[in-house]
Structure 1
Amino acid sequence: MVIKEIFTPDIAITWLPWAVQYFFMMGLAYASIWVATIHLFSHGKRDERLLKLCAFLMLTAGIVAPIALMADLHQPLRAWHFYAQIRPDSWMWFGALLLPIFSGASALFAWLLLRQYLPTKASAQSESPLDWVSRIAQLIRLGDWDSDKWIKPIALIASLSACSIALYTGMETMAIKARPLWHTYWLPPLMATSALLAACGTLAVLNRLLKGYEQYTQDNLLLWIRASFSLFALCLIGWALFDNGSATEAALLLDTSPSWQLAAIWVLVTLALLALVLALRNLPQTLVILVSLTAVHLAWGFRWIVLIQAQTDPKYGAGTYFYQLPWGPEGLLGIAGTFGLWIALMVLVSELIRHQPHSAREAL
């Protein structure tokens, strides 16, 4: 008998948890633009509260996402290389061009939606001289001119930019042929539908937590959650049934890796529980919040599995790599710091838009 030993080197992962934060935050930003634009062009009753929450989310998440991306680049100053050379064969090169356009378009769209909640010159003068937040908010308003006519055209531009970012963030991962788990055309729609699910869940939570809760808005968001969950589940089923590369690789991992078996159980149980609860016609408010948080958790966990756990499947060799989440900036501290920055931005923006316009019934 001839015995041959096979050595599989344990190679460190290249995409860190910063990447999960980037994909998650960017998904919240572009999906909230879709929700706001679809609502603006719908023929039903206009929900100012929903538009305000969408603007609130696209602005704050759209600021935090590029910061997480720069952190994941390990050497952020090397980002200028994307602009110093032309690489039409690289999705990351396209992303370097599309991302600034998206950041500008989403910020402009959010500003137009939130502008009516910023104090006017008269209201700012009536405040206490020490209320410097109102003074800054009044400056951000840029005068008292009418900006409503610009909202729909900018919404279309922002939505097209959001579609380009959704395509780019999915394709830059799918394009890596060395990783069979990533190399599937089902990945971009899975990313997009899970982002929509997370955004709708986040909006529902914000509607409850921030001042000015609206039951009508919550009912609308529950419909959005049901629709986006159905789309995500259908894409997941389509991937499992009709993909011959990525799904086959995942099935092989399920036979040999306990960590992948645990991940599969988590996904299936979460999907089943959400499906059962969302099938109920009338949900109490406590259960709506629980469903919303579970939807957000599912979308974030899906990105963790795709971006981090998929890297434990070796490009070459047998077995799986071992990954342990670090406590420092490249692990748990980085995740907490990103969410902490996002919460700080939400607090700041909520202070700036605390004034109530004549056209709005309630403010945050």
Structure 2
Amino acid sequence: MQITELLTPHYEVAWLPWAVQYFFLVGVATGAALLVSVCAFGQRGSAMQRLLPVAVLTLAVSTLAAPVSLLADLHQPARFWHFYAHFTPWSWMSRGAVLLPLFVVIALAFCAAWWLGKTRWMRGLVPLLLLSALSITVYSGAELMVIRARPLWNTLWVPVNLALTGWLAAVGVMLVVERFLPAKLRPDASALQVLRSIGLGVAGLLLLVVLAWALSGVLGWSPSFNEALRLFSEFPVWRMTMLGSAVFGAVVVGALLRGRQRLNASGYTLVLGLGLAAAAWAFRWALFMGIQGVPKFGAGLYLYHMPLGGDGLLGMLGVAGLCVALVAMATWALEVFPERHPQTA
């Protein structure tokens, strides 16, 4: 009898759950930035302007929380300094060290202009905010796309999918956040219908992108699609995470389609918003964490068990708590200092 032993070395994952939180929050931030840029030019009392307060609050919270997750993913916050002391312009991470602080400053400046009621300042910042948001969208997607060792990531479809799912999550977060705004700043039924239409539009684009990605794989233009099929058939760890993300996303988008007459129900918008955000988060979990259980080369599996401490479950709960705290502080400030921001009624 011949006995063959297969030994699988233990590898640490390259991306911790902190990365999932960062890419989720930065996607929400860019989606909110695009929406506030449009809403800033809405006529007084219009549905678009009624969406401005909730879009600004979403932008402020996600912009502040995203860098916290990024610094935590670097393991040592002082490591962030190395990007400036040893700048390497050919690295997307190094470029991001410049682009992200610029985005944070511009986004918070826009939020401050809204708070102070400076409409001209807001509109003047819109071109900078749009350019900065698009630069973050490109840089965050390119960080994955350039990794050739993972054919699934090494494709232009990855940054496009990350962008669209992030913007869909922004719609979901707004549906959750709007219920905590003061009554005078909450979007009315017509504004919520506009937000729903935006969500459906983004979901439609996402479906077209997925179909185009599949078609490019069938035609042999995209090795990424064939790699996804291989992973799905050979590795249960990828199959479970991807199936869960896809099914959950389809259910939530279906609820969005049927929600025209239910958006006035606060419970429905809360569940729908949480569902949209969770679907986008689950997609990132499958993309970042699920794939890391699959070997880059050779046979076997990379064994990974999510820790319960700061690099795992506790860290994710901490980021969620930070977002809740930021929303609570912002809504408290809006209640206490109502004269500091423009009325939209």
Cα drift, residue 218 of structure 1? 1.3
Normalising to structure 1: TM-score of the pair?
0.85
Equivalent residues of 2:245, 2:286 under 8 A apart: no
Residue matched to 1:276: 254
Residue matched to 1:352: 333
Classify 1:283/1:266 alpha carbon distance in 2 versus 1 (closer, same or farther; 3 Å): farther
Classify 1:4/1:241 alpha carbon distance in 2 versus 1 (closer, same or farther; 3 Å): farther
User: What one-letter code is carried by the residue in structure 1 that aligns with 2:171?
Assistant: C
Correspondent of 1:313 among 294, 302, 307: 294
Residue matched to 2:149: 178
User: What one-letter code is carried by the residue in structure 2 that aligns with 1:206?
Assistant: V
Correspondent of 2:170 among 159, 174, 199: 199
Classify 1:264/1:71 alpha carbon distance in 2 versus 1 (closer, same or farther; 3 Å): closer
Give per-residue Cα distances to partners, 1:127-176, cap 9 Å, x unaligned. Answer: xxxxxxxxxxxxxxxxxxxx221211201211110000010000011111
Residue matched to 2:210: 236
Normalising to structure 2: TM-score of the pair?
0.89
Residue matched to 2:307: 326
Aligned length: 332
User: What root-mean-square deviation, in Å, do the aligned CA atoms of Structure 1 and Structure 2 show?
Assistant: 2.2
Cα drift, residue 5 of structure 1? 4.5
Partner-residue secondary structure (3-state), 1:318: coil
Within 5 Å, give how 1:157-172 maps onto structure 2.
157-172=128-143
User: What one-letter code is carried by the residue in structure 1 that aligns with 2:235?
Assistant: S
Distance 1:237 1:33 in 2: 27
User: What one-letter code is carried by the residue in structure 2 that aligns with 1:248?
Assistant: N
Partner-residue secondary structure (3-state), 1:217: helix
Residue matched to 1:93: 94
Higher mean C-alpha deviation, range 7-16 or range 178-187: 7-16
1:248 aligns with 2:222: no
Partner-residue secondary structure (3-state), 1:353: helix
Residue matched to 1:135: none
Give per-residue Cα distances to partners, 1:221-268, cap 9 Å, x unaligned. Answer: 111111111122222222233143222122111112222222233233
1:221 aligns with 2:195: yes
Classify 1:349/1:190 alpha carbon distance in 2 versus 1 (closer, same or farther; 3 Å): same
Which structure's CA Rg is the greater one? Answer: 1
Residue matched to 1:73: 74
1:16 aligns with 2:21: no
User: What one-letter code is carried by the residue in structure 2 that aligns with 1:56?
Assistant: L
Equivalent residues of 2:95, 2:139 under 8 A apart: yes
Identity between Structure 1 and Structure 2 (%): 35
Distance 1:170 1:312 in 2: 21
Structure 2 unaligned regions, length at least 5: none
Cα drift, residue 343 of structure 1? 1.1
Cα drift, residue 291 of structure 1? 2.5
Equivalent residues of 1:48, 1:360 under 8 A apart: no
Partner-residue secondary structure (3-state), 2:338: coil
